[in-house]
Amino acid sequence: MASIALQRFREGVQREFPLLIGVAPFGMIYGVLALQAGLSPLQAQAMSAVVFAGSAQFMTVQLLAGMTPALVIIFTGFIINLRHMLYSASMAPWVEHLPLRWKALLAYLLTDEAFAVTIVHYRQKGRDSAHEHWFFLGAGMALWLTWQFSTALGIFLGAVIPASWGLDFALPLTFIALVVPSLRHRADALTAGVAGVLAVLLAGLPYKLGLVLASLVALGVGMLAEDKT
């Protein structure tokens, strides 16, 4: 039994590995920006360990640099991370049998990248396999370690990275790599297309509300498309 769990853990790490190439520069950029926003090295690293959410961390350091009130920062972070409610709803059927300690750990490790590879794995394996949560753990831990290490590099070595390098290109590439393998049906492609178009059209709304509205509308469109197939 232990050998099966270890095998699933390794599979999770292996499936996550290609995405880590894009995550690492992203973490380094965060480390640089956190120091520029006035955080100490310890505070910047602690945010990566406690918050562990790249988009929310970027938003936080940018708003801190602008002397934004704490309540506004908290509310904006809540809006940005609302998508994790959708992730959790999708993952629930596969983890509902797990004890609370496992659910708490996997909830902490639930990120865009970990969700993308794990949900595909779950759909392939079905709900009867008893060790598939170890795959989730492997994918999540691989990302967590990469994020912590890349944040540390950004904090201590990022000052020598020229801004002209434009490392932020890794972020959109990472999300493209997440989405494309999951588009298996017409409803999936329609949902992704609607979400992408609306996210661009509504990008000017304050507090990232455009992202939330685009997600909700696209989800409704996808559900209607599935009902008609």
Q: DSSP label at 164? A: G
CA distance from start to end of the chain: 40
Task: Report how far residue 173's alpha carbon sits from residue 165's, in angstroms, rounded to the nearest whole number.
Answer: 16
Task: For residues 96-108, give the mean pLDDT.
Answer: 93
Neighbours of 172 (CB within 10 A): 10
The encoded tokens of residue 182 equal 């999951």
Residue range 36-86, pLDDT digits in tens? 788 888 999 999 999 998 888 888 887 787 787 888 788 878 877 888 888
Per the CB < 8 A criterion, the answer to whether 219 and 199 are in contact is no
Task: For residues 195-223, give the mean pLDDT.
Answer: 82
Nearest to 217 by CA among 197, 27, 105, 102: 197
**Domain residues of the chain, as ranges?**
2-167, 183-229
Report yes or no on whether pTM surpasses 0.75: no
